[in-house]
Structure 1
């Protein structure tokens, strides 16, 4: 197969994705050769140093790049990250904090992530889990030693090499906190591996990373996250209020993992204690050594095959995305393009969800005289999927299924919900108000000072406060659709939104009387005089 980039072209296609038309050809003097993946913070590309060593170059999302506070924090965190020289961390090589689109280059690790390993090989044995915990704990010592907190330690951010794990993306998530507070639809961290204090919007410290390490180790040892799967709001509720599910974790690991997963930060062990507990465990024989047999054979073989790709690193690009000649100063020798599959390879789930801009909403369609099978199918799919597709623009077209045979645009309020076309501005945006001096601004999906914006949900010691010029209703389902919200408001509008009627997991709807836009608010945690955490969806009425 003379046109294949390596003897194992299928593996090469899985690791290296061709550049797409919207990808740059060069960033900060580094010529880009392939995509390595994409995530909540941005995209990751393959490039080379001037001496020919491969590097992973990450560009941040445009939403982050436009925020001045993000840029300030990004520059600060990158400077700190360059001071980290742990043997279990991927070294930061270069950065462009002042570039139009900020970027960061780290040493390229050819091994798979823990997320990929568990997905492809299943749970790992106890000895491997203990070695991983010791290596990652040592990485946390190096990270915390320069005053950095990772904040997003998860299986996708731990790469495996033949000589141990390597932690990536340390500290950079903190730079995005500013966008999480001032932007829309962003949350820093992955719910299944977030500590309770993160889920509640409280400050993160070194113990936050220890909780994430415990959740990561439980996932690796059992094949499932310790707080289950499902909608993010449900996972966050379990993180804050329930004990981890460790039934599938080997018994001789549970005591250590339970200490790491303690709800209170002060009850969790320090990284040095984790290293000592792993070293003295009978399964490792009194010493932590990453010998040739520290990983199961199938995983070791996968790492070896990936390393064998290094002499054949592809330069395949989309012709439309890169100039015929690299810009002056670009690193990496030019090579003839290599044929690669243009089918997009799977990428990890994003840590945060970006809201679809309003202009991306589908144009309003002309109302039909009766419901079509397409509309019924769309509504059924939306009801089945609920908000699990958070952050993706979702248009729900609700035809007049019952009784309406007219074509006039003059729709009475009683039938408005059943004839509306809703576009999701954002979904599953998690917000925490530390006290009743903050409101949940529906339009922007952010926290705002109380009574500073007209369309916002507030709260007091007794319950939630619906905005003026709006109607509300408490729904039977925790995941109602916009059409169900409209119907509930028409049938049984709420006179109050008391905390006693809205336990965790329950939802209420708010509908503007002027625009008929709808907000769906799901309760995560409530406190009479403390923080209140909710998840909010906002749907614009296209009529």
Structure 2
């Protein structure tokens, strides 16, 4: 097995601007930014009436129309709301009966374990033991109310300064279960599934302990214990072969092999996992998430996610008084924390530059308004030069022609087996969802445009770089449903930060969340 290599690209920004097709309010919660998107739906940052941040998950429209999904979703949410572990993301509200179902959990200011390992590489032995103990305690809380997670994996564990938080023990399972149309179909992620899951047998608390062991192997060594190949291969190895711990520190082998025992009865309980971690020499008898429990760069990423986007409460009022701007009220409310209807406070004498969630469609208009508003508030001619919150001014746009690009690669054919995999545009690879810095994700019915990118769909025929640049500037799109894409049709994406361009040719689209194949050309902007 090859040695895992940390990614050279930074993690995607934790807070992304709301786009034109994002809602501005869900279940009475005003949305401030998008946190991410995946096959199940989109996740937004909002706040409770008292000001506590929450992660609000809104399921995809096709799931909302599925009666079986709605039934299971309501059941899973009811169970999840009974879970009160310190190492779980508490479910605080939900709308299972809403036109589009949603779920609000406590916001965790940190990346997922999958993002951490993909970006920074495996974690030290002591950190792995602390994580195992914290996750085991989370599993105790989950199992204590009669729930089995069944899909514990690195993407479902977030890392905060005071330890891990286990998430997603409701929405993903409900969606997977609703998609089952026959026997022999499994709920879970193959690389972290226990043998009994692979064989279609009932999942128990011991099933989650196996997944915890597999997760720990990934965090300690950079690869799952049974490889990352096709689903059938991973499941076969989980049932018939021994785990590969070649890159895992030797001091962890005994505990991990116990967790990964083929028979559920041979695995330790969650309490025994916690005790084994506490007794390990690397821990020294005390399980404490001190300031130095994580590598420094991971701590910096957590700090970055703790700096929540806000806007001075007076800013929407100032913008509303400027002539000719005409920003809708619901857009201005998306600029900062949610609040009950109230009078705006007086503006301070020296306001800070706001961090603003701006929808794609009104981007240039709002940007101009912000510059004008800052000039009025600060009262200085230099304000126009000081405030450029989007960093893509008109002066740079003139350089975006085909001559300013060089080809990084072309004709690279890639296949995503299902919605849990996305296309890493810079690397030209297929990777697990939510791991690529610049990505093209997909669901069962559409391609998902990255939040920090523009897209253009060619009417027909091939798509040259020059055509792509012209189309992005004149006819951008925000939706790429499979129903509008014929085999051989092309579209392109442009990163707003680096202006790099990816040209995608569709080879085949999905049927019932099946494989999606594309051919990819990547052009690097040299300006």
What's the TM-score, normalizing by structure 1? 0.59
Within 2, Cα distance between the matches of 1:321 and 1:39?
Answer: 29
CA distance in 2, matches of 1:296, 1:336: 28
User: In the aligned structure 1, how far is the partner of 2:48 from the partner of 2:507?
Assistant: 49
Is 1:33–2:40 an aligned residue pair? no
Give yes or no for the alignment of 1:426 onto 2:514.
no
Alignment of 1:460-471 (within 5 A): none
Counterpart-to-counterpart distance in 1, 2:104 and 2:96? 11
- The Cα offsets for residues 379-424 of structure 1, whole Å up to 9 and x where unpaired, read as xxxxxxxxxxxx9899666xxxxxxxxxxxxxxxxxxxxxxx9854
Verify the 8 A CA contact 2:133 2:273 in the aligned structure 1. Answer: yes
- After superposition, the Cα gap between the structure-2 partners of 1:202 and 1:162, relative to the gap in structure 1 and judged at 3 Å, is same
Change (3 A) 1:349 1:134: same
SS of structure 1 residue aligned to 2:282 = helix
Distance 2:28 2:83 in 1: 24
Inter-partner Cα distance in structure 2 for 1:304 and 1:91: 21
User: Contact 2:124–2:220 at 8 Å: present in 1 too?
Assistant: yes
Q: CA deviation at 1:168?
A: 1.2
C-alpha offsets along residues 323-379 of structure 1, whole Å, 9 cap, x if unaligned? 44659xx9347988454479x99896179974348xxxx99999xxxxx9x9xxxxx
Question: Which residue of 1 is the match for residue 302 of structure 2?
Answer: 303
Where do 1:107-506 residues align within 5 Å?
107-182=106-181, 188-307=187-306, 309-310=307-308, 312=310, 323-324=330-331, 326=333, 331-332=338-339, 337=356, 339-340=389-390, 349=433, 354-356=443-445, 423-426=508-511
Residues 81-120 of structure 1 correspond to what in structure 2 (within 5 A)? 81-120=80-119
- Contact persistence 1:25–1:321 (CA under 8 A): no
Write the distance in 1 (CA, Å) between the matches of 2:269 and 2:149. 15
Contact 1:149–1:171 (CA under 8 A) maintained in structure 2: no
1:157-178 per-residue CA deviation (whole Å, 9 max, x = no partner) reads: 1111111111111244332343
Partners of 1:157 and 1:169 within 8 A in 2: yes
How far did 1:183 drift?
A: 9.3
Alignment partner of 1:106: what SS? strand
CA shift, 1:269, in A, is 1.4
The answer to whether the 8 Å contact 1:56/1:107 transfers is: yes
Q: Distance in 2 between matches of 1:337 and 1:252?
A: 47
Cα 1:423–1:292 shift into 2, 3 Å: closer
- Cα distance in structure 1, aligned partners of 2:238 and 2:213: 12
Provide the rounded CA distance (Å) in 2 between the counterparts of 1:363 and 1:110.
39
Distance 1:239 1:341, change over 3 A: farther
- Residue-by-residue CA offset, 1:205-257 (whole Å, 9 max, x unaligned): 21221111111100110112212123333333323332211100011111111
- Paired residue secondary structure (1:277): helix
Cα drift, residue 15 of structure 1: 0.7
In structure 2, the partner of 1:71 is: 70
Mapped partners of 1:305, 1:363: distance in 2: 38
Q: Secondary structure at the match of 1:100?
A: coil
Structure 2 Cα separation of the partners of residues 286 and 148 of structure 1: 30
Of residues 285-294 and 196-205 in structure 1, the stretch that sits farther from structure 2 once superposed is 196-205
Shift in CA distance, 322/232, structure 1 to aligned 2, threshold 3 Å: farther
Q: Is the 8 A contact 2:113 2:157 kept in 1?
A: yes
* Partner SS, residue 14 of structure 1: coil
1:21 aligns with 2:33: no
How far 1:35 moved relative to its partner? 0.9
**SS of the counterpart of 1:37?**
strand
Distance 1:324 1:134, change over 3 A: closer
TM-score by length of 2: 0.61
| Counterpart-to-counterpart distance in 2, 1:176 and 1:428 | 12
Distance 1:322 1:237 in 2: 56
**Structure 1 residue 42: deviation in Å?**
1.6
Q: Which residue of 2 aligns with 1:49?
A: 48
Residues 183, 126 of structure 1: CA spacing in aligned structure 2 closer, same or farther, 3 A cutoff? Answer: same
Root mean square deviation, CA, Å: 4.2
* Residues 428, 96 of structure 1: alpha-carbon distance in 2 compared, 3 angstrom cutoff: closer
Structure having the higher Rg: 1
Distance of 2:67 and 2:391 partners within structure 1: 38
Q: Structure 2: which 5+ residue stretches go unaligned?
A: 1-8, 316-325, 345-353, 358-388, 393-421, 425-430, 436-440, 447-456, 465-480, 489-505, 518-527
Secondary structure of residue in 2 paired with 1:74: helix
